[in-house]
Amino acid sequence: SERVTHSRRISRGRVELRDVSFGYDPDEPVLHDVSLEVPAGSFVGIVGHTGSGKSTLLALLLRFYTPQSGRIEIDGIPLATIGDEHFRADVGLVPQEPFLLAASARENIDMGRGLPQTAIEAAARAARVHEVIERLPQGYDTPLGEGGARLSSGQKQLIAVARALAGQPRVLFLDEATSRIDSETEQLVQQALAELRGKITVIAIAHRLSTIRAADRIVVLNHGRIAEQGTHDELMAIPGGIYQRLYLLQQIGE
């Protein structure tokens, strides 16, 4: 049965959705027959208007909900059967609003996992936040204050990226992680994502399209269905396309 817990770890990070449908009310599906294959080590962006189903898709990938029909697999293992401990170890999430503890920079990246300092620093370097931490009065031992009060919102988000990377996940999800940060920090996130290519599977739900412009593939959801997919250049070449419209509107907005 689907409830049997697999002892197999996620090793490569190939994500596959087959004919996935879901609705919070089963009579009103939010997602309709979504099929998507994300190769291991690739970077895929998921975009769409508000209400397109992208947040729901992420909720299914994070196992907050179970599809009403269809299946989701990672490395051929049904998502529902991966043990909680393995899922937490092998899947990372950078949320839209990072939650920081009133603790040191080190503790905020480690999150009680007992990671060696080398792993914490490597993650901070990968997230482009190592130098920020080094400049703090006590470096990695500096208390960050309630909710990370000592840091800017962009720096808090980079700490959240470091925290997710420190566990060495095989799959990393970003939930509109750049929607509320300055463009300079967004560029640092873009650099970090570029460096992860080929090493970790990255699936980014994005409001700010510049974040996922360099993705291997961009998937455009519309009313719960995949309406378009391709690279940035391919999607920009679709006359009157949804992605093209979204992108141009954001360019005007900036």
For the stretch 69-110, pLDDT in tens is 999 999 999 999 999 999 999 999 999 988 999 999 999 999
For the stretch 20-38, pLDDT in tens is 999 999 889 999 999 999 9
For the stretch 167-218, pLDDT in tens is 999 999 999 988 888 888 889 999 999 999 999 999 999 999 999 999 999 9
For the stretch 101-136, pLDDT in tens is 999 999 999 999 999 999 999 999 999 999 999 999
Please state the pTM of the whole predicted model. Answer: 0.93
Tell me the residue ranges of DSSP E strands in the chain: 15-22, 31-38, 43-47, 69-74, 77-78, 91-94, 171-175, 201-205, 217-222, 225-230
Tell me the mean pLDDT in the region 159-164: 96
Q: Which CATH class is domain 15-253?
A: alpha beta
Tell me what pLDDT residue 247 has: 95
Please give the mean pLDDT across all residues of the chain.
Answer: 93
Residues 6 or more apart in contact with residue 171 via CB below 8 angstroms = 10, 13, 15, 74, 90, 91, 92, 200, 201, 202, 203
Q: Domain residue spans in the chain?
A: 15-253
Does 138 score more than 90 pLDDT?
yes
Pick from 206, 197, 115, 129: which is nearest to 160 by CA? 129
* Cα Rg of the chain (Å, integer): 18
* Cα-based distances in Å from 39 to 17, 133, 216, 228: 12, 34, 10, 18
Tell me what pLDDT residue 230 has: 98
